[in-house]
Amino acid sequence: MENIFILGLASMGGLGFLLASCLALASKKLRVEEDPRIAMIREVLPSANCGACGMPGCFNFAEGVVGNEVSISGCPVGGANTAQEIARIMCVEIEGFQRKVAKVLCQGGLKETERKAVYYGIVDCRSASMISGGEKVCEWGCIGYSNCIKACKFDAIYMNRNGLPVVDEDNCTGCGRCVEACPRNLIEMHPPEVMVHVYCKNHAPGKIARKICKKACIACKLCVKPCPDNIHIEDNLAVIDYSNGFIGDRICTEKCPTDSIVYN
């Protein structure tokens, strides 16, 4: 009886020792070298796996940074601080990091626009716009079925009582998912320092535009006169040229009869 006990103990122990030494050997011989910087960069990334950098997730972004495939400041969510940290890990200097936040360029909420029909169907902007262009008369404006809100992973957009999405600029990380989500291309990314925006995408001639929305751009050119270098009218809509570092001036917005160009 005692014999069997010792035999069992010895054989199992021996087998365990043998396999353990195999594993130990394998871990030495078959070791995959991973750049330690990947793990370090992963530590400083936000780990939201939102895909805003263009990579499938944060790990892939870290790999990409080490493999020199993506820019160090490529993570818009982490912003300047993360970029600084990554630069420290990679031992390089970075150029200025520009923070950007989303702007919803439409003010045509429930109060401002007319409705031409009642929509009954799934809550999805694109689906609503596929049926005769949605409920609102304006065919360029916000449809109001919150595709952008569903796309936002950081709770930075909410719907106000007027049926328009509002961006919470403190929470906005600039990932740009809402830009992709909007079927009307109403959301644009701008640095928060830029103060003046045209909150309208209506290309209808002034007379019609005024009829379909109270806050539509009617292309009256009153904003072009004070700021001729930076604002011009393109296809019945005022367009601001930000390329030369223009961040806005109160004068540009004061004359607007419909409040479609706003300083804020």
Partner 1 sequence: MRLLTFKHGIHPDYHKWFTREKGIRKTDLPQMVVIPLKQHLGAICNPIVNKGDEVKVGQKLGDNDAFVSCPVHSSISGIVKSIGPYQHPGGDMVDSITIESDGKDEPFRAHRPPQDISTLQPDEIRNIIRETGIVGLGGAAFPTHVKLNPPKEKQINTVIINGAECEPYLTADHRLMLERSEDIIYGIKAVMKLLGVRKSYIGIEANKKDAIAVILKGLEKEKDADISVVSMKVKYPEGAEKMLIYAILKREVPAGGLPMDVGVVVQNVGTTIAIADAIQRSKPLIERVVTVTGLGVKRPGNLLVKIGTLFSDVIKECGGLKDGARKVLMGGPMMGIAQYSLQVPVVKGTSGIVVLVDDELKLEKTVPCIGCGNCVKACPMFLLPTRLASYTDHDMLDKADEYGILDCIECGSCVYVCPSKLHLVQLIRLGKAKILDKKRGKGVKK
Interacting residue ranges for partner 1, rule: CB under 8 A: 116-117, 120-122, 124, 126-127, 130-133, 139, 147, 150-151, 180-183
Of the pair 163, 183, the CB lying nearest partner 1 is at 183
Of the pair 105, 181, the CB lying nearest partner 1 is at 181
Q: What is the DSSP letter of 154?
A: S
Query: Smallest gap, in angstroms, from Cβ of residue 46 to partner 1?
Result: 21
Query: Smallest gap, in angstroms, from Cβ of residue 60 to partner 1?
Result: 19
Query: Smallest gap, in angstroms, from Cβ of residue 41 to partner 1?
Result: 28
Which residues, in sequence order, are bridge partners of residue 263?
Answer: 196
Of the pair 133, 226, the CB lying nearest partner 1 is at 133
Rg (the chain; Cα; Å) = 28
Of the pair 92, 122, the CB lying nearest partner 1 is at 122
The structure tokens 């199992």 sit at 12
Of the pair 37, 116, the CB lying nearest partner 1 is at 116
DSSP string, 97-111: P---EEEE-----TT
Query: Smallest gap, in angstroms, from Cβ of residue 191 to partner 1?
Result: 24
Q: Phi/psi zone of residue 196: left (φ > 0), alpha (ψ -120 to 50 degrees), beta?
A: beta
Distance CA 33, CA 35 (A): 7
Does the CA dihedral 84-90-95-100 come out positive or negative?
A: negative
Query: Smallest gap, in angstroms, from Cβ of residue 105 to partner 1?
Result: 17
Distance CA 94, CA 87 (A): 6
